[in-house]
Amino acid sequence: MSESTQTSKPMSTPPVMNMMEEEHTEKHFEPTPLVSTNLTKSGTTDVPKGRALNFTSNEFSNGVSMSNNYKNGSSTGKFEDLSDVTIDEEEEEEMHDNAPNKLTSSVMSTHNATCTKGGFTYQEGEKLETDCDSVCICSNGNMDCMDRCRKPFIRRGKNLDDPLCKEKLTDDPCCATLICADTAEEPLEICHYNNKTYNRGDVFHKGCEESCICNAGGAVNCKPRCLPRNTNENVKCVEIPDPDDSCCKKLLCDVTLNDNESESGVKILNAKYLNSSMIKIKFDPKLDENDSSLIVELSNNKNDWVAYKLLPGGYLPVQNFSKYIRIEGSSEILAIQEDKKSQTSSDMVKSEYDEELQRCIYKGKTLKVNEEYNDNCTKLCVCKQTGMECLKLNCPTYFGTDVVDAACVEWETVPPNFVPSPPVCCPTEVRCKNNGSCFHKGELYHNYQNLPTNVTGCEKRCYCEMGKIECQNICPPLPALPGPDLPCSPQMATVGHLPDDDCCMQWICKPSGQGHPFPGFPSGYQNQDEIVVHTLEAIDAHVIRLAFLVPPVIVGLHGRVEVRYTDKAESNTDKWELQVFAPPNDLIATPQLEFDLLDLKANTEYKIKITITLRDLHNTPTSQIYKIKTLPELASSTLPPMIPVDPELNIAEVNSTWATAAWRKFTEYELQFIDGIQLRFKEIDGRIYAATPLIHRAVSSYTIENLKPNTKYEIGIYFIPFPGQTSELHSENMAHFTTANEVDTYGFNVTLEIGHVKSTSVEISWFGVPYPEDKYVNIYRAIYQSDSGKEDQSTFKIAKRDSPTKTIIADLKPGTRYRLWLEVYLTNGKIKTSNVQDFITKPRVAPVLGTLAHDKLSSSEQLDNKGDYYAPLVIVAILAAIAIMSTLILLLVLLRRHNQNKAAITPPTRISQSAYDNPTYKVEIQQETMGL
């Protein structure tokens, strides 16, 4: 409303229903901060006025809000535009009009003034959010509105036809920022140079010699910092220090340059924004089409300048909005023009309209007005007087494929190598390339199907998943030796099945009287005072390792182990050599002990006997006498300390987070130098190697996990020698591999749609979740909020396979506006949020005279629709109550009749009063009464 037509607010307004008076303090999200703009005549700062949503407009066909009637500064509703009304203008009117309008003006400026918008009343300071379009605040009787997403923000989900631009999310769920690049792929946005990191587009200097710029892909391009000076053509020149760069000098000659001309001979004619991230610059003389060597500078205050590199064709990609432009080192400063039309469409990039020739120039093509152009099957464009207008071509290639084959996980076009080429931009047929099935041992298994045990064996459980057979071991690993927890000695242990397990093999005890002891050990069962040796091994020429079991009754007592040994024919063990082994704190804590017998002779047979002496006890458990021969002394080796070997290390399989390394099996000669194997790996740019656990020398492959996606690694194999070994193997070759890109199976988007809207319920549906949905989603939560509600309300739905992706929300208020969105709780623990939908429930219809019978009939029909079991239950309950009451009344009548027919058969018993008739008793009573 203009100032000349402004009228004062009347003192009394028709009564309206205040649906927001209780909502003052709590809001579930904050809009984008409002930017203050100077709109008043006196120079004071005020919030710019926007457009409010007309809730009474006839814009809802089925209860769903489709668009805002107030957009781009135009109004199509029944309310007038109040965006130009300010408090200052009302105050000026109040000062000039003292008597007639004094009362009205005071009503407008009172602190407790209310605002009316769309039939609703709002209190002072109350905020109204109109979808993602605008935010309004009630201030002094007026609704001050402004766009929710203002520059540099754009509305999230806006159709972007520029393939070089993408949205970047912000804290506001309705707004986003536009990030554009000069290339379709951005492999790297930073550069590393001399141990320093620079962002893409940064210009830095390498001393006074070179000036460098960080380009795409981490590439650094440098050029001489100072422009070359040529004085051959004119000798009347003088060099002076460059005021903009202390490292360089400027050459001043007797030729006066034009005011708009730079030292390079190129000047800027004009610069114009094509969109928020691209500027089109015209030069004089015109630059070569492929010339991108020029560097220009941008600024907002003519003091702080940021350098940018020019693209071929005079296009300049920018990150932030700037007002002024100049060529690097030039004193000429021009203002950058803004094109409002091109700001709303990213299709104007790299296109211009020649008004003189009435034609468009787009990607080197000259088009007439209204002439169409197919942009290599990516966009369909038409030349208009405002420039090229383009729409992105989207082929419905994979639409409805889930109906054709729901089990297919990958589709391909027919032919498979279809290349879009105008005018044939879309394939006409698709077929299933991969349905996730697996082919194993001549049998085909469907996706997620378990393999039968007769194929995999009972010790494994295998299933088909995405074309691969995945297996899990059921049986625990079988150790090489029996454990100490067996109820029998190791000599009586064998490998077999437990009574209740016919699949897994475990160490068990042999039945009594069966089997033979292990070779090399004496026969017989261990008694209570006997020490049983289960490992007796010559480690080298001078060391023998003993591992034995002590009687369980001495576990937990204090004592020491005495080992007597001899290489002579002496039968008296007291004359044998003695070595004493003391456990920690002289405590025998476990039944299994292990010691090394040292300082023995090479290639000599020894007799060994073990005795345990207990503290404060005379019981001395002993073992039998064992014989063992030490190893011969190894001859002095003439081998070098490092023996090169090629293990043929290669990467057998690689994924985004793991890689499997494989190598050849080693020969018997090589195995005598290998005690274990270890893989060491690092990133190409890293400095510290990570190592795997020690791998057995007989293993020929290993899987490395927890790697970074899309990262190049270096890996090598290292051989761990035996203790005391003088020569070891060494691999000189390193293998390189790159992990694959990480595939986010949860990267889908959920879209919410509003179905049938009634007065107290609404039907909603959603799509976008891959099949099967229970693999990705646990629970759906539909959250809805009314304009008059204080808090969110929600309903839940459990994700089930093959269940319809829709539900009905009931118990809503008639004629109420709701905001509804969906939260999806994923199986990976994260939460996805769908789009927000607005709808208005239908108003409740008042009954009309003459329709009472119809209403009764409709109400009975509604009662029948509530459930098939409710009405029969009520009828049965009523009949049961009637039957119980009838039974009670009948029993009462029968009892009364039975009491009336009773008659006494025997006379009543008379009380004997003979004691009172005795004269003597009466006299005694009388005397006691009188006190005699």
Domain boundaries, the chain: 1-148, 180-392, 401-434, 438-473, 526-629, 642-738, 751-840
pLDDT at 339: 65
Crossing angle of helices 87-96 and 102-109, in 10° steps, is 160
The model's confidence at residue 753, banded by pLDDT at 50, 70 and 90, is very high
Give the model's confidence band at 238: pLDDT under 50 very low, under 70 low, under 90 confident, else very high: low
**Sequential DSSP letters for 485-507:** TSSS-GGGEEEE--TT-SS--EE
Looking at per-residue pLDDT, the higher value among 902 and 64 belongs to 902
Task: Specify the amino acid at residue 861.
Answer: E
Q: What pLDDT score was predicted for residue 160?
A: 65
CA–CA distance, 421 with 49 (Å, rounded to integer)? 49
pLDDT digits (tens, 9 = 90+) for 703-732: 999 999 999 999 999 999 998 788 899 998
Mean predicted confidence (pLDDT) in 540-554? 89
Q: Which of 255-264, 460-469, 689-698, 914-923 has the highest mean pLDDT?
A: 689-698
Tell me the C-alpha distance between 678 and 922, whole Å.
126
Phi and psi at residue 852, to the nearest 5°: -65, -45
Number of C-beta neighbours around residue 270 at 10 A: 13
Residue 381 to residue 328: CA distance in whole angstroms: 36
User: Which amino acid is it at 165?
Assistant: C
Note the pLDDT tens digit of each residue in 129-142. Answer: 777 878 888 888 88
State if pTM tops 0.95: no
CATH number of the 751-840 domain: 2.60.40.10
Residue spans of alpha helices (H) in 677-812: none
Is the pLDDT at 606 greater than 70? The verdict is yes
pLDDT attached to residue 342? 44
Q: Establish whether domains 526-629 and 642-738 are of one fold.
A: yes
The phi, psi pair for 716, rounded to 5°, reads -140, 160
Confidence of residue 696 (pLDDT cuts 50, 70, 90): very high
- Using one digit for the tens of pLDDT, what is the confidence trace for 625-679? 999 999 888 765 577 888 999 999 999 999 989 999 999 999 988 998 999 999 9
Q: Is the pLDDT of residue 228 over 90?
A: no
Most distant pair of Cα atoms in the chain: their distance? 179
Confidence of residue 508 (pLDDT cuts 50, 70, 90): confident
The pLDDT value recorded for residue 911 is 54
Compute the mean pLDDT over every residue in the chain, rounded to the nearest whole number. Answer: 75
The Cα–Cα gap between 343 and 346 comes to: 7
Give the model's pLDDT for residue 436: 87
Reported as a single tens digit per residue, the pLDDT across 433-457 is: 888 889 888 888 888 888 888 888 8
Place of tokens 């329709």: 851
> Residue 764 and residue 795: Cα distance in Å, rounded?
12
> Please, what is the Cα angle at 60 between 58 and 65, to 5 degrees?
120
Its CATH architecture, for the domain 526-629, is Sandwich (2.60)
The CATH number of the domain covering residues in 642-738: 2.60.40.10
DSSP, res 912: P
Residue-wise pLDDT tens digits, 84-100: 444 444 444 444 444 33
